[in-house]
Chain A
Amino acid sequence: MSVLKFATWIEEAPNWLLKMPEGVQKFLFQLYQTFIHADRWKLFLNGLKITIIVTIGALILGIIIGLILAIIRTAYESITVGKKPIILRLLNTFTLIYITIIRGTPMMVQLLIMGFVIMVPKSDTATLMCGIITLGINSGAYVSEVVRSGLISIPKSQSEAGRSLGFNFYQTMWYVVLPQAIKNILPALGNEMITLLKDTSLVSVIALRDVTKQAQNVQNLTYNALVPYISLAVIYLVMVMGLQKILSMLEKRLRKSDR
């Protein structure tokens, strides 16, 4: 496809545009070129879909992994008398190794290893799964530390009250400690979610066509970097602001019992 020229575009332009200063004409041309010509907005939209799917998938996976890891570590540390069960010791060791490796290597490197060494996806769906799993595994390591800090922040007397009613360790976690912990860690968890959302921009290295990749494609097609990349920044900004809004609504609901 040949590149649309400014001279060709301005010939077909309506009258009101011709009266504009040249700078405005050039800018509108770039906008046209980036989004409207050859239906390029569809590229952005498709990329946005990938970005949102990867973000939501990885968020869910990351929270599940994070909760499990945090509870394993808290359970391990809660046993102070007698020998700790062998399964718990193994799980705790695994958790520590997991967190060390994931936090100790760059996300980009993890994507390259998952994409080209471990999973080596062949289809589009498989590539999408690969992206979700890699980011989820990464996020889980960070979420687990956030959750653990929340579990530690709840006074021991709360779990004692739960245990004294006859709840076992996990029921006490689930009904008593975790709901209070989540309330305390929501700001930190929000941070982690925002980081994850923005980190999805790395998935293009395993050939996922997310919104960042699509902006690059448009830049290649138009030889114009300014509008695609500024637009890309605005797209991320709007998504993060939406996420912030959701989180603050959630926080308000959870704080109901404080009033």
Chain B
Amino acid sequence: MTADNIVISVKGLKKAFGENQVLKGIDIDIKKGEVVVVIGASGSGKSTFLRCLNCLEDPTGGSIYFNGVDIADISVDINIHRQKMGMVFQQFNLFPHMTILKNMTIAPIKLLKLSKTEAEDRALSLLDRVGLKDRAESYPRQLSGGQQQRVAIVRALCMNPTVMLFDEPTSALDPEMVGEVLEVMKNLAKEGMTMVIVTHEMGFAKEVADRVIFIDDGIIAEQNSPKEFFENPQHPRLKEFLAKVL
């Protein structure tokens, strides 16, 4: 049903919380290696959209084909598919009772059945790439916000995901720490990782995104290449939004 290079195909995705219809039918195909940045006003449904992609919020309508399987179908074992979709949260969500190394290795050991040594080797080389190898035995509380978020990114990478989802990864950071996290994400994009990123960092979107989508009132109001998107917006709501944030 999909071309080979399409990783996620979303069809008519709907999500309601009780009476409140947040997503009103979203259609999008995300290609392998593509970096999609999602922007929108708060309350537009952009975070809900991202959280629906790995079913942290169960969709109330439509389908999400990931590697050809409709993961919005509740009879599908979502846990298997989540292993292949790394997720990074606004609040980092590291496990406070585990060391950094344990944070990163617990899922590969328990779910991918890697040996402790294999998992630790993988974790340490990832930590090395984000410059935090010497903090492997620290606890999350002992790290700065930027360091914690870098760990959260490599924790997700430790599962060898095919897609990475970022839910406002820099919104909870002190301004001087935003750069170090965006740098890690840029490198990841360069290496060809498929990424879906909800963010307010317009500069990052311009520089790194292959496609920017604007969600407004539960639908994709506009999508385009970053150049066209920012220089030549069409939708009146997008013009209004960009005028406010740029």
Known A82-B74, A166-B111, A168-B79; contact A158-B141, beta-carbon cutoff 8 A: no
CA distance A24 to B58 in the complex (A): 78
Per-residue interface assignment for chain A, residues 90 to 124, with 1 indicating a CB less than 8 Å from any chain B CB and 0 otherwise? 00000000000000000000000000000000000
Say whether B159 contacts A257, CB under 8 Å. Answer: no
Partner of B159, one of A157, A160, A166: A166
Say whether B83 contacts A166, CB under 8 Å. Answer: yes
Q: Which residues of A contact B (CB under 8 A)?
A: 81-82, 157-158, 160-168, 171, 175-176, 179-180, 183, 254, 257-259
Say whether B93 contacts A160, CB under 8 Å. Answer: yes
Partner of A179, one of B56, B82, B94, B97: B97
Chain B interface mostly helix, strand, loop or mixed? loop
Say whether A160 contacts B58, CB under 8 Å. Answer: no
Say whether A176 contacts B95, CB under 8 Å. Answer: yes
19 further interface pairs, Cβ-Cβ under 8 Å (given A166-B159, A258-B96): A157-B89, A158-B93, A161-B93, A161-B94, A163-B56, A163-B82, A164-B85, A164-B156, A165-B159, A166-B79, A166-B80, A166-B111, A167-B79, A167-B107, A167-B110, A180-B95, A257-B97, A257-B99, A258-B141
CA distance A40 to B139 in the complex (A): 55
- Please name all residues of chain A whose beta carbon is closer than 8 Å to the beta carbon of B83 when the two chains form the complex: 165-166
CA distance A257 to B140 in the complex (A): 8
For the complex of A and B, 9 pairs with smallest distance between CB atoms: A166-B83, A161-B93, A164-B87, A165-B107, A166-B82, A81-B58, A257-B139, A157-B93, A168-B79
A-B contacts counted at CB < 8 A amount to: 67
CB closest residue in chain B, given A157: B93
Partner of A175, one of B91, B110, B141: B110
Minimum C-beta distance from B204 to chain A (A): 22
Say whether A161 contacts B96, CB under 8 Å. Answer: no
- Indicate if B76 sits at the interface (CB-CB under 8 A): no
CB closest residue in chain B, given A161: B93
CA distance A157 to B91 in the complex (A): 8
CA distance A164 to B106 in the complex (A): 13
**A-contacting residues, B26-75, CB 8 Å:** 54, 56, 58, 60, 74
CB closest residue in chain B, given A254: B97
